[in-house]
A and B are shown apart, each in its own frame.
Chain A
Amino acid sequence: MDRDVHRGAGHYIEKNLHILFPLPAVTFVVVMMLFPVLYTFFLSFTNWNLTSGQPLSIVLLRSYQRILREPRFTAALGRTFSFTLMAVSVETVLGMIIALILNREFRAKGLVKLILLLPLVATPVAIGIVFNLFYDPTIGLANFILTRFGLPKLAWTGSASTVIPSLALVDIWQWTPMITLILLAGLASLSSEPYESARVDGATEWQIFWRITLPMVMPTLLTALILRSIDALKTFDIIYAMTGGGPGYASETLNVMAFKYSFEYFRMGQASVILVFLFLLVLMMSLVIVRLRKSLEL
């Protein structure tokens, strides 16, 4: 009897395994992520200010109007894109070149791959601070190198005109190896047949790259590129740690601006509007990935 009950329970679990197994994880994500995101969405229609002591009132689209008319917002939006574009395009080209160089057997390959991994696992805040020492206008190595080549010193993160490229350089340093490693894995899985027949036909290395290698690694490259772009759009740690969005607002991206509106000015309503935009941006990119995976049957 007891055993039958036990069996019955086991049978029940087995029959509903496809619901019961994911249930805890899904519940967690819904409670901790989906609800908060919806709450943020709701707050974007209010003018709630945490420090004003007044209850929140619903203002519909007024917070949207205010933020969209705010030059600081449009500048941050453009900056988010230019930072991402700058970082990801250099990472892609550089990552590809390094992958092609490394795509052969040699003795130290294991060591080289290990070294390439290190930037990816390094703590971004700490990396940002290391680069701050590097960029320091008076004691930094960066300016020393420039003067050695007879070039004028730069203010790096200290001036509005150079701060975004200087920050992008940190991102490039940290994430180019990721593109390289992904492409190396992709290149390793290619079949050698097309290469052999191309060589028989007397194709040059250049032609082989454009006609065979690139098209074959394209799906891998595209997915890596979009994943990287999403992460670059969200870049927070290095910017916040290195410049705090400054000088002035010169390196303020959407993420940094939303952070300041929420946790420095406590203007929750307007912060939510910025978050909604950032959220939509990331969601759009994510859907592109999902579509891409489907159409490429990855």
Chain B
Amino acid sequence: MHAPILKKLLFGLVIILVMVPVMFPFLWMLASSMKTQVDIVAWPPRLLFSPTLQNYERVFREQNFLKYFINSAVIGISAVAMSLIMGLPAAYSIARFQQRRLSIFILIARLMPGISFLMPWYIIFSRLNLMDSYVALILSHMLITLPIIVWIMASYFETIPIEMEESAMVDGATRQHAFLAIVLPIAGPGIVTSVTLSFIFSWNNFMFSQVLSMEKTRTLPIAIYNFVSYAEVDWGAVMAAAVAIMAPAIILTMIFQKYVVKGLTMGAVKG
């Protein structure tokens, strides 16, 4: 009678032992974001302190943080929307016509180091006077979002039975009509997966905006990076900024947990 309980307890302990290191940086970040500078630089590090929200106030008041927040959202949403328009038909075609070479082409686009096309963009965008423009930022972020959307959606479309379109086509509908009227409406879960994941990766991207944006189109990751590179580090404010930048991605993940797991693991598991 005692053995199973003991075993359960032991298992619970092991789980906690594994989860603590995973959670710890988040908790430490959250705690530090509510510390005063005095509490942060204290040695030994303080676990008990009276929490304050003044770091958040400082971040959102003094810096143009809200503007960068909106920039990140606008660029991410636009890139995802455009990628859906281009990517969904492409993914459908890959799935239905078994275009293996095309799918490899897209896979390689997803794996290429961003910097190998960033340098030419830098040259071209400056010639076209498109530096620090939303156009340049959205186009560059589409190279993150488009391959993810095509990659996830192609395997999703493969799981949709072809009979549904075929019966519509027997009734006289064209294939493109069947795609729009029958396939897309039932592809919801796949679209949610690909949209969530591609938006998060766009949101987190640092390198493209670091090179292509200046004050006007600056995104959050650059804002937080600049925070640190200025002389003395205001750790409390930086941690508050870190919490603010991660919050949307984490909230999205909590809402769409099932979809995010699927999207992240399907690349390796047959899906």
Contact = CB atoms under 8 A, between A and B. Distances in A.
Interface in A120-161: 120-127, 129-134, 138-141, 144
Contact of B45 (A33, A114, A144, A263): A144
A108 B18 CA distance: 13
Interface of B is mostly: helix
B224 A129 contact: yes
B222 to A, nearest CB: 8
A279 interface: yes
Contacts of A298: 270
Q: Which of A14, A22, A184: most chain B CB closer than 10 A?
A: A22
Contacts, number: 268
A120 B122 contact: no
Interface string B125-161: 0000000000000011011001100100000000000
Interface stretch (B24-32, B50-58, B62-70, B187-195): B24-32
B86 to A, nearest CB: 4
How many chain A residues sit at the interface, stated as a range, is 35 or more
Interface stretch (A23-31, A65-73, A195-203, A204-212): A23-31
Contacts of A289: 107, 111
A18 interface: yes
How many chain B residues sit at the interface, stated as a range, is 35 or more
Contacts of B99: 18, 22
Given A129-B238, A138-B43, A279 B257 contact: no
Contacts of B97: 17-18
Given A117-B253, A282-B111, A28 B86 contact: yes
B28 A121 contact: no
B235 A133 contact: yes
Contact of B119 (A20, A116, A122, A268): A268
A99 B224 CA distance: 34
Contacts of B147: 29
Interface of A is mostly: helix
Interface string B15-29: 100110111011011
B49 interface: no
Contacts of A21: 89-90, 92-93, 176
A26 B177 CA distance: 22
A59 interface: no
Contact of B112 (A39, A124, A282): A282
Contacts of A285: 111
Given A10-B176, A114-B253, A121-B250, A40 B117 contact: yes
Q: Which of A98, A115, A121, A268: most chain B CB closer than 10 A?
A: A121
A279 B122 contact: no
Given A40-B117, A275-B116, A22 B176 contact: no
11 contacts: A14-B175, A17-B176, A29-B106, A37-B117, A114-B254, A121-B253, A127-B242, A131-B25, A241-B225, A271-B119, A275-B116
Interface of A: 10-11, 13-14, 17-18, 20-22, 24-26, 28-29, 32-33, 35-37, 39-40, 43, 50, 98, 101-102, 106, 108, 110, 112-127, 129-134, 138-141, 144, 173, 177-178, 181-182, 184-186, 189, 220, 223-224, 227, 230, 233-234, 236-237, 240-241, 255, 258-259, 262-263, 268, 271-272, 275, 278-279, 282-283, 285-286, 289-290, 298
